[in-house]
Structure 1
Amino acid sequence: MGTWDDLRAELDSWAQTDKRATMWWRDDDAVSVTDELEEILSCERSYHVPLALAVIPGKVENGLVDRLVETLDTRILQHGWRHENHAPADRKKQELDDVRPAESVLAEMQSGFDVLTARFASRFLPVMVPPWNRISPQVLQGLPNIGLRGVSTYGPRRQPYAADGLLQVNTHIDVIDWRGTRGFVGEDVCLEAMITHLKARRTATVDPVETTGLLTHHLVHDSATTAFLHDLFSFEHPALSWQAIAGVFPWQ
Protein backbone atom coordinates (compact mmCIF):
# COMPACT_ATOMS: atom_id res chain seq x y z
CA MET A 1 0.00 0.00 0.00
CA GLY A 2 1.13 3.54 -0.70
CA THR A 3 2.68 6.05 1.68
CA TRP A 4 3.48 9.75 1.41
CA ASP A 5 7.16 8.81 1.08
CA ASP A 6 6.29 6.50 -1.83
CA LEU A 7 4.40 9.34 -3.49
CA ARG A 8 7.30 11.69 -3.03
CA ALA A 9 9.67 9.11 -4.52
CA GLU A 10 7.45 8.71 -7.59
CA LEU A 11 7.30 12.46 -8.07
CA ASP A 12 11.08 12.61 -7.70
CA SER A 13 11.24 10.26 -10.68
CA TRP A 14 9.04 12.65 -12.65
CA ALA A 15 11.30 15.54 -11.71
CA GLN A 16 14.37 13.67 -12.91
CA THR A 17 12.87 13.53 -16.40
CA ASP A 18 11.80 17.21 -16.30
CA LYS A 19 8.12 16.22 -16.52
CA ARG A 20 5.10 17.56 -14.62
CA ALA A 21 2.74 15.14 -12.92
CA THR A 22 -0.62 16.76 -13.57
CA MET A 23 -3.79 16.01 -11.61
CA TRP A 24 -7.42 17.11 -11.63
CA TRP A 25 -10.37 16.88 -9.22
CA ARG A 26 -13.92 15.74 -9.99
CA ASP A 27 -16.71 15.60 -7.40
CA ASP A 28 -20.02 13.91 -8.23
CA ASP A 29 -23.73 14.11 -7.33
CA ALA A 30 -24.14 17.84 -6.68
CA VAL A 31 -27.79 18.94 -6.35
CA SER A 32 -28.06 21.42 -3.49
CA VAL A 33 -26.05 23.43 -0.98
CA THR A 34 -25.06 21.26 1.98
CA ASP A 35 -22.44 21.37 4.73
CA GLU A 36 -20.54 18.70 2.82
CA LEU A 37 -20.53 20.82 -0.33
CA GLU A 38 -19.32 23.83 1.64
CA GLU A 39 -16.43 21.72 2.93
CA ILE A 40 -15.11 20.88 -0.54
CA LEU A 41 -15.65 24.44 -1.75
CA SER A 42 -13.57 25.52 1.23
CA CYS A 43 -10.83 23.11 0.15
CA GLU A 44 -10.94 24.52 -3.37
CA ARG A 45 -10.58 28.03 -2.03
CA SER A 46 -7.97 27.32 0.65
CA TYR A 47 -5.63 25.16 -1.41
CA HIS A 48 -6.32 26.64 -4.86
CA VAL A 49 -7.21 23.24 -6.29
CA PRO A 50 -9.70 23.72 -9.16
CA LEU A 51 -12.89 21.68 -8.84
CA ALA A 52 -15.08 20.07 -11.50
CA LEU A 53 -18.52 19.61 -9.96
CA ALA A 54 -20.69 16.99 -11.66
CA VAL A 55 -24.25 18.31 -11.26
CA ILE A 56 -27.43 16.24 -11.66
CA PRO A 57 -29.45 18.55 -13.95
CA GLY A 58 -32.88 17.00 -13.39
CA LYS A 59 -32.62 17.59 -9.63
CA VAL A 60 -30.53 20.76 -9.34
CA GLU A 61 -31.90 23.32 -6.87
CA ASN A 62 -31.88 27.08 -7.25
CA GLY A 63 -29.72 27.47 -4.15
CA LEU A 64 -26.86 25.58 -5.75
CA VAL A 65 -26.94 27.81 -8.81
CA ASP A 66 -26.86 30.92 -6.61
CA ARG A 67 -24.09 29.57 -4.39
CA LEU A 68 -21.78 28.66 -7.25
CA VAL A 69 -21.94 32.17 -8.65
CA GLU A 70 -19.66 33.07 -5.73
CA THR A 71 -16.91 30.59 -6.65
CA LEU A 72 -14.03 31.45 -8.95
CA ASP A 73 -12.62 28.21 -10.30
CA THR A 74 -15.46 25.70 -10.04
CA ARG A 75 -16.66 24.34 -13.36
CA ILE A 76 -19.86 22.38 -13.91
CA LEU A 77 -20.05 19.03 -15.69
CA GLN A 78 -23.22 17.11 -16.61
CA HIS A 79 -24.01 14.13 -14.37
CA GLY A 80 -26.58 12.30 -16.45
CA TRP A 81 -30.18 13.49 -16.15
CA ARG A 82 -31.71 12.43 -12.80
CA HIS A 83 -29.17 9.79 -11.68
CA GLU A 84 -31.80 7.06 -11.92
CA ASN A 85 -31.09 3.40 -12.61
CA HIS A 86 -32.71 1.80 -15.67
CA ALA A 87 -30.81 -1.50 -15.65
CA PRO A 88 -32.56 -4.73 -14.58
CA ALA A 89 -31.93 -6.13 -11.11
CA ASP A 90 -29.35 -8.65 -12.32
CA ARG A 91 -27.10 -5.96 -13.85
CA LYS A 92 -25.02 -3.12 -12.44
CA LYS A 93 -26.78 0.22 -12.09
CA GLN A 94 -26.81 2.41 -15.18
CA GLU A 95 -28.69 5.51 -16.33
CA LEU A 96 -27.08 5.89 -19.75
CA ASP A 97 -28.21 2.38 -20.54
CA ASP A 98 -28.77 0.00 -23.42
CA VAL A 99 -32.10 -1.22 -22.04
CA ARG A 100 -34.08 1.66 -23.51
CA PRO A 101 -33.71 2.93 -27.09
CA ALA A 102 -30.62 5.12 -27.40
CA GLU A 103 -32.81 7.92 -28.75
CA SER A 104 -34.81 7.99 -25.50
CA VAL A 105 -31.68 8.12 -23.35
CA LEU A 106 -30.15 10.84 -25.50
CA ALA A 107 -33.36 12.88 -25.31
CA GLU A 108 -33.00 12.93 -21.51
CA MET A 109 -29.36 13.91 -21.82
CA GLN A 110 -30.36 16.73 -24.16
CA SER A 111 -32.79 17.99 -21.52
CA GLY A 112 -30.01 17.93 -18.96
CA PHE A 113 -27.63 19.71 -21.29
CA ASP A 114 -30.20 22.45 -21.87
CA VAL A 115 -30.83 22.89 -18.14
CA LEU A 116 -27.16 23.28 -17.29
CA THR A 117 -26.53 25.61 -20.22
CA ALA A 118 -29.37 27.83 -19.09
CA ARG A 119 -28.52 27.76 -15.41
CA PHE A 120 -24.71 27.98 -15.46
CA ALA A 121 -23.87 29.54 -18.86
CA SER A 122 -20.09 29.55 -19.47
CA ARG A 123 -19.42 27.85 -16.12
CA PHE A 124 -20.83 24.67 -17.66
CA LEU A 125 -18.34 22.66 -19.65
CA PRO A 126 -20.00 20.29 -22.14
CA VAL A 127 -18.66 17.13 -20.50
CA MET A 128 -20.77 14.08 -19.61
CA VAL A 129 -20.09 12.24 -16.36
CA PRO A 130 -22.23 9.08 -16.56
CA PRO A 131 -23.79 8.10 -13.22
CA TRP A 132 -22.03 5.04 -11.82
CA ASN A 133 -19.36 5.72 -14.48
CA ARG A 134 -21.20 3.51 -16.97
CA ILE A 135 -22.47 4.32 -20.46
CA SER A 136 -23.67 2.17 -23.36
CA PRO A 137 -21.68 2.36 -26.62
CA GLN A 138 -24.73 3.53 -28.56
CA VAL A 139 -25.41 6.41 -26.18
CA LEU A 140 -21.73 7.31 -26.10
CA GLN A 141 -21.64 7.68 -29.87
CA GLY A 142 -24.64 10.02 -29.77
CA LEU A 143 -23.32 12.48 -27.17
CA PRO A 144 -21.57 14.80 -29.67
CA ASN A 145 -24.91 15.33 -31.45
CA ILE A 146 -26.24 16.91 -28.25
CA GLY A 147 -23.35 19.35 -28.05
CA LEU A 148 -21.21 17.44 -25.57
CA ARG A 149 -17.50 17.49 -26.28
CA GLY A 150 -16.09 15.41 -23.45
CA VAL A 151 -16.79 12.38 -21.26
CA SER A 152 -15.34 11.30 -17.93
CA THR A 153 -15.67 7.89 -16.30
CA TYR A 154 -13.24 5.86 -14.16
CA GLY A 155 -9.98 4.09 -14.95
CA PRO A 156 -7.19 4.69 -17.50
CA ARG A 157 -8.59 5.61 -20.90
CA ARG A 158 -7.86 3.43 -23.91
CA GLN A 159 -7.58 6.35 -26.31
CA PRO A 160 -7.93 10.14 -26.07
CA TYR A 161 -11.27 10.23 -27.89
CA ALA A 162 -14.12 7.93 -26.87
CA ALA A 163 -16.04 8.89 -30.03
CA ASP A 164 -15.56 11.34 -32.86
CA GLY A 165 -15.24 14.78 -31.27
CA LEU A 166 -15.61 13.42 -27.70
CA LEU A 167 -12.48 13.85 -25.58
CA GLN A 168 -12.20 11.39 -22.68
CA VAL A 169 -10.45 12.26 -19.42
CA ASN A 170 -11.16 9.86 -16.57
CA THR A 171 -10.58 9.67 -12.83
CA HIS A 172 -8.29 7.11 -11.20
CA ILE A 173 -8.41 7.60 -7.43
CA ASP A 174 -11.74 6.95 -5.66
CA VAL A 175 -11.76 7.96 -1.99
CA ILE A 176 -14.90 5.94 -1.11
CA ASP A 177 -15.07 2.22 -0.25
CA TRP A 178 -18.24 1.54 -2.23
CA ARG A 179 -18.07 -2.24 -1.91
CA GLY A 180 -17.38 -2.26 1.81
CA THR A 181 -18.01 0.35 4.49
CA ARG A 182 -19.13 3.07 2.04
CA GLY A 183 -16.87 5.35 4.04
CA PHE A 184 -13.26 6.39 3.45
CA VAL A 185 -11.35 3.72 1.56
CA GLY A 186 -8.12 4.54 3.42
CA GLU A 187 -5.10 6.75 2.97
CA ASP A 188 -2.87 3.89 1.85
CA VAL A 189 -5.36 2.75 -0.82
CA CYS A 190 -5.76 6.27 -2.20
CA LEU A 191 -2.04 6.91 -2.31
CA GLU A 192 -1.39 3.53 -3.94
CA ALA A 193 -3.96 4.31 -6.67
CA MET A 194 -2.38 7.72 -7.23
CA ILE A 195 1.15 6.35 -7.39
CA THR A 196 0.10 3.47 -9.66
CA HIS A 197 -1.45 5.76 -12.27
CA LEU A 198 1.37 8.29 -12.10
CA LYS A 199 3.97 5.55 -12.56
CA ALA A 200 2.01 4.01 -15.42
CA ARG A 201 1.88 7.41 -17.12
CA ARG A 202 5.58 8.03 -16.57
CA THR A 203 6.50 4.65 -18.05
CA ALA A 204 3.85 4.91 -20.82
CA THR A 205 2.09 1.75 -19.65
CA VAL A 206 -1.08 3.84 -19.98
CA ASP A 207 -1.71 7.03 -21.93
CA PRO A 208 0.92 9.40 -20.50
CA VAL A 209 -1.08 12.46 -21.54
CA GLU A 210 -4.22 11.63 -19.54
CA THR A 211 -4.23 13.70 -16.37
CA THR A 212 -4.47 11.69 -13.15
CA GLY A 213 -7.96 12.21 -11.72
CA LEU A 214 -9.19 12.35 -8.12
CA LEU A 215 -12.85 11.30 -7.65
CA THR A 216 -14.85 12.39 -4.62
CA HIS A 217 -18.53 12.27 -3.60
CA HIS A 218 -19.02 15.06 -1.08
CA LEU A 219 -22.40 13.83 0.19
CA VAL A 220 -20.87 10.68 1.72
CA HIS A 221 -17.59 12.08 3.03
CA ASP A 222 -16.77 11.26 6.64
CA SER A 223 -14.17 12.93 8.84
CA ALA A 224 -11.41 10.57 7.66
CA THR A 225 -12.15 11.40 4.02
CA THR A 226 -12.06 15.12 4.75
CA ALA A 227 -8.78 14.80 6.68
CA PHE A 228 -7.19 12.96 3.75
CA LEU A 229 -8.29 15.61 1.28
CA HIS A 230 -6.74 18.33 3.42
CA ASP A 231 -3.49 16.33 3.59
CA LEU A 232 -3.49 15.69 -0.16
CA PHE A 233 -4.25 19.25 -1.18
CA SER A 234 -1.61 20.63 1.17
CA PHE A 235 1.02 18.18 -0.14
CA GLU A 236 3.60 19.96 -2.28
CA HIS A 237 6.23 18.77 -4.73
CA PRO A 238 7.91 20.67 -7.58
CA ALA A 239 6.80 18.04 -10.10
CA LEU A 240 3.12 18.02 -9.05
CA SER A 241 0.48 20.44 -10.29
CA TRP A 242 -3.32 20.57 -10.16
CA GLN A 243 -4.83 21.56 -13.47
CA ALA A 244 -7.52 24.13 -14.10
CA ILE A 245 -10.59 22.28 -15.34
CA ALA A 246 -10.64 24.15 -18.63
CA GLY A 247 -7.10 22.87 -19.16
CA VAL A 248 -8.19 19.28 -18.52
CA PHE A 249 -10.68 19.58 -21.39
CA PRO A 250 -8.97 21.86 -23.93
CA TRP A 251 -11.19 22.05 -26.97
CA GLN A 252 -9.11 21.84 -30.13
Structure 2
Amino acid sequence: MNPAWQSFFDEIARWRESGRTVDFWWRDDDACRLDPALARLVALAGANEVSLALAVIPADLQAAAFEPADVWVTLLQHGVDHHNRAATGDKKTEFPASEEVSTALARLADGRQRLQRLTGSRVLPVLVPPWNRISAPHLISHLAGAGYRGLSTFGPRPSMYPAPGVLMVNTHV
Protein backbone atom coordinates (compact mmCIF):
# COMPACT_ATOMS: atom_id res chain seq x y z
CA MET A 1 0.00 0.00 0.00
CA ASN A 2 1.10 3.54 -0.72
CA PRO A 3 2.74 5.04 2.44
CA ALA A 4 0.46 8.08 2.32
CA TRP A 5 -2.65 5.91 2.28
CA GLN A 6 -1.26 3.74 5.08
CA SER A 7 -0.67 6.85 7.16
CA PHE A 8 -4.25 7.96 6.46
CA PHE A 9 -5.71 4.57 7.47
CA ASP A 10 -3.52 4.47 10.58
CA GLU A 11 -4.81 7.89 11.64
CA ILE A 12 -8.44 6.81 11.15
CA ALA A 13 -7.73 3.70 13.24
CA ARG A 14 -6.32 5.88 16.04
CA TRP A 15 -9.46 8.00 15.99
CA ARG A 16 -11.67 4.90 16.09
CA GLU A 17 -9.66 3.46 19.02
CA SER A 18 -10.19 6.69 20.95
CA GLY A 19 -13.95 6.57 20.29
CA ARG A 20 -13.91 9.51 17.90
CA THR A 21 -15.41 9.79 14.43
CA VAL A 22 -13.57 11.30 11.50
CA ASP A 23 -15.59 13.80 9.49
CA PHE A 24 -14.36 14.43 5.99
CA TRP A 25 -15.65 15.55 2.68
CA TRP A 26 -14.71 14.84 -0.87
CA ARG A 27 -14.43 17.82 -3.22
CA ASP A 28 -13.48 17.68 -6.89
CA ASP A 29 -12.78 20.96 -8.70
CA ASP A 30 -13.11 22.20 -12.28
CA ALA A 31 -16.19 20.14 -13.16
CA CYS A 32 -17.99 21.32 -16.30
CA ARG A 33 -19.17 18.20 -18.07
CA LEU A 34 -19.69 14.59 -17.15
CA ASP A 35 -16.71 13.12 -19.02
CA PRO A 36 -15.71 9.44 -18.52
CA ALA A 37 -13.31 10.20 -15.64
CA LEU A 38 -15.88 12.26 -13.75
CA ALA A 39 -18.57 9.67 -14.47
CA ARG A 40 -16.35 7.04 -12.81
CA LEU A 41 -15.83 9.32 -9.81
CA VAL A 42 -19.58 9.92 -9.45
CA ALA A 43 -20.24 6.18 -9.78
CA LEU A 44 -17.59 5.42 -7.14
CA ALA A 45 -19.16 7.90 -4.73
CA GLY A 46 -22.60 6.40 -5.29
CA ALA A 47 -21.42 2.79 -5.00
CA ASN A 48 -19.81 3.59 -1.65
CA GLU A 49 -22.57 5.94 -0.48
CA VAL A 50 -20.09 8.77 0.02
CA SER A 51 -21.11 12.36 -0.64
CA LEU A 52 -19.17 14.11 -3.38
CA ALA A 53 -19.05 17.88 -3.78
CA LEU A 54 -18.28 19.01 -7.32
CA ALA A 55 -16.93 22.54 -7.68
CA VAL A 56 -18.47 23.58 -11.00
CA ILE A 57 -17.26 26.45 -13.21
CA PRO A 58 -20.48 28.28 -14.16
CA ALA A 59 -19.25 29.78 -17.45
CA ASP A 60 -18.09 26.39 -18.74
CA LEU A 61 -20.94 24.22 -17.46
CA GLN A 62 -22.64 22.27 -20.21
CA ALA A 63 -26.43 22.19 -19.94
CA ALA A 64 -27.73 19.03 -18.26
CA ALA A 65 -24.16 17.88 -17.59
CA PHE A 66 -25.12 16.32 -14.28
CA GLU A 67 -28.51 14.87 -15.11
CA PRO A 68 -29.91 12.59 -14.03
CA ALA A 69 -29.01 13.82 -10.58
CA ASP A 70 -27.03 11.46 -8.42
CA VAL A 71 -28.20 11.65 -4.82
CA TRP A 72 -24.60 11.54 -3.57
CA VAL A 73 -23.48 14.57 -5.60
CA THR A 74 -23.89 18.21 -4.67
CA LEU A 75 -22.63 21.14 -6.68
CA LEU A 76 -20.61 24.11 -5.45
CA GLN A 77 -19.76 27.30 -7.33
CA HIS A 78 -16.15 27.27 -8.55
CA GLY A 79 -15.73 30.97 -9.18
CA VAL A 80 -17.36 32.25 -12.34
CA ASP A 81 -15.13 31.63 -15.36
CA HIS A 82 -11.81 30.37 -13.90
CA HIS A 83 -9.89 33.22 -15.56
CA ASN A 84 -6.77 34.49 -13.84
CA ARG A 85 -7.20 38.20 -13.05
CA ALA A 86 -4.06 38.55 -10.94
CA ALA A 87 -1.46 41.15 -11.82
CA THR A 88 1.64 39.87 -13.58
CA GLY A 89 3.88 38.18 -11.05
CA ASP A 90 1.13 37.68 -8.45
CA LYS A 91 -0.32 34.30 -7.51
CA LYS A 92 -3.22 33.25 -9.72
CA THR A 93 -6.67 34.32 -8.58
CA GLU A 94 -10.02 35.00 -10.15
CA PHE A 95 -10.68 37.55 -7.39
CA PRO A 96 -7.71 39.95 -7.12
CA ALA A 97 -7.44 42.67 -4.49
CA SER A 98 -7.56 45.25 -7.30
CA GLU A 99 -11.11 44.29 -8.36
CA GLU A 100 -13.98 46.34 -7.00
CA VAL A 101 -16.15 44.34 -4.60
CA SER A 102 -19.28 45.32 -6.53
CA THR A 103 -17.77 43.98 -9.76
CA ALA A 104 -16.76 40.68 -8.16
CA LEU A 105 -20.18 40.29 -6.51
CA ALA A 106 -21.97 40.97 -9.81
CA ARG A 107 -19.85 38.33 -11.55
CA LEU A 108 -20.53 35.86 -8.74
CA ALA A 109 -24.28 36.52 -8.92
CA ASP A 110 -24.29 35.94 -12.69
CA GLY A 111 -22.41 32.68 -12.23
CA ARG A 112 -24.69 31.50 -9.46
CA GLN A 113 -27.80 32.26 -11.52
CA ARG A 114 -26.39 30.25 -14.42
CA LEU A 115 -25.65 27.28 -12.14
CA GLN A 116 -29.13 27.36 -10.64
CA ARG A 117 -30.77 27.69 -14.04
CA LEU A 118 -28.88 24.67 -15.40
CA THR A 119 -28.85 22.44 -12.33
CA GLY A 120 -31.68 23.57 -10.07
CA SER A 121 -31.60 23.03 -6.35
CA ARG A 122 -28.50 20.83 -6.39
CA VAL A 123 -26.25 23.87 -5.93
CA LEU A 124 -25.21 24.61 -2.36
CA PRO A 125 -24.49 28.28 -1.52
CA VAL A 126 -20.76 27.60 -1.23
CA LEU A 127 -17.98 29.42 -3.08
CA VAL A 128 -14.86 27.49 -4.06
CA PRO A 129 -12.53 30.08 -5.59
CA PRO A 130 -10.28 28.86 -8.41
CA TRP A 131 -6.72 28.28 -7.28
CA ASN A 132 -8.22 28.05 -3.76
CA ARG A 133 -7.62 31.72 -3.17
CA ILE A 134 -9.37 35.04 -2.91
CA SER A 135 -6.75 37.78 -2.96
CA ALA A 136 -9.40 40.35 -2.12
CA PRO A 137 -10.01 39.72 1.61
CA HIS A 138 -12.63 42.47 1.66
CA LEU A 139 -14.77 40.33 -0.70
CA ILE A 140 -15.16 37.60 1.93
CA SER A 141 -17.02 39.94 4.28
CA HIS A 142 -19.68 40.45 1.57
CA LEU A 143 -20.32 36.77 0.77
CA ALA A 144 -23.14 36.23 3.28
CA GLY A 145 -24.97 39.29 1.97
CA ALA A 146 -24.70 37.79 -1.51
CA GLY A 147 -26.32 34.56 -0.32
CA TYR A 148 -23.26 32.39 0.27
CA ARG A 149 -23.13 30.31 3.42
CA GLY A 150 -19.82 28.56 2.82
CA LEU A 151 -16.31 29.13 1.51
CA SER A 152 -13.82 26.40 0.69
CA THR A 153 -10.16 26.88 -0.12
CA PHE A 154 -7.10 24.76 0.72
CA GLY A 155 -5.21 24.03 3.90
CA PRO A 156 -5.82 24.95 7.52
CA ARG A 157 -8.50 27.58 7.86
CA PRO A 158 -7.63 30.75 9.73
CA SER A 159 -11.10 30.75 11.30
CA MET A 160 -14.19 28.55 11.23
CA TYR A 161 -16.16 31.65 10.20
CA PRO A 162 -14.01 34.02 8.10
CA ALA A 163 -17.00 36.39 8.03
CA PRO A 164 -20.33 36.40 9.86
CA GLY A 165 -22.64 33.79 8.35
CA VAL A 166 -19.94 32.12 6.22
CA LEU A 167 -18.58 28.74 7.32
CA MET A 168 -15.15 27.78 5.98
CA VAL A 169 -14.54 24.10 5.17
CA ASN A 170 -11.26 23.53 3.37
CA THR A 171 -9.61 20.64 1.59
CA HIS A 172 -6.29 19.29 2.79
CA VAL A 173 -5.25 16.75 0.15
Both proteins in one fold, TM over 0.5: yes
C-alpha separation in 2, matches of 1:57 and 1:5: 37
What's 2:48 paired with? 47
For residues 84-123 of structure 1, the C-alpha deviation after alignment (integer angstroms, 9 at most, x for no partner) is: 0111121111002212212111110011112222222221
What's 2:31 paired with? 30
What's 1:146 paired with? 146
What's 1:96 paired with? 95
Contact 1:28 1:79 in 2 (8 A): yes
- 3-state SS of the aligned residue for 1:145? helix
Contact 2:64 2:118 in 1 (8 A): no
What's 1:155 paired with? 155
For residues 181-232 of structure 1, the C-alpha deviation after alignment (integer angstroms, 9 at most, x for no partner) is: xxxxxxxxxxxxxxxxxxxxxxxxxxxxxxxxxxxxxxxxxxxxxxxxxxxx
Contact 1:27 1:52 in 2 (8 A): yes
- For the structure 1 residues 89 and 70, does the alpha-carbon distance in structure 2 shift closer, same or farther, using more than 3 Å as the test? same
Higher relative contact order (CA closer than 8 Å, sequence separation 6+) = 1
Provide TM-score, normalisation by structure 1: 0.64
- 3-state SS of the aligned residue for 1:19? coil
- 3-state SS of the aligned residue for 2:33? coil
Contact 2:58 2:77 in 1 (8 A): yes
C-alpha separation in 2, matches of 1:163 and 1:12: 34
Structure 1 unaligned regions, length at least 5: 174-252
C-alpha separation in 1, matches of 2:9 and 2:70: 31
- 3-state SS of the aligned residue for 1:142? coil
Amino acid at match of 1:56: I
What's 1:190 paired with? none
Root-mean-square deviation (CA, aligned residues, Å) is 1.6
Instruction: Tell me the CA shift for residue 74 of structure 1.
Output: 0.5
What's 2:85 paired with? 86
What's 1:186 paired with? none
Identity %: 37
What's 1:171 paired with? 171
C-alpha separation in 2, matches of 1:78 and 1:124: 7
Provide TM-score, normalisation by structure 2: 0.91
- The alignment of Structure 1 onto Structure 2 pairs a total of residues equal to 171
Contact 1:148 1:166 in 2 (8 A): yes
- For the structure 1 residues 68 and 156, does the alpha-carbon distance in structure 2 shift closer, same or farther, using more than 3 Å as the test? farther
C-alpha separation in 2, matches of 1:6 and 1:52: 24
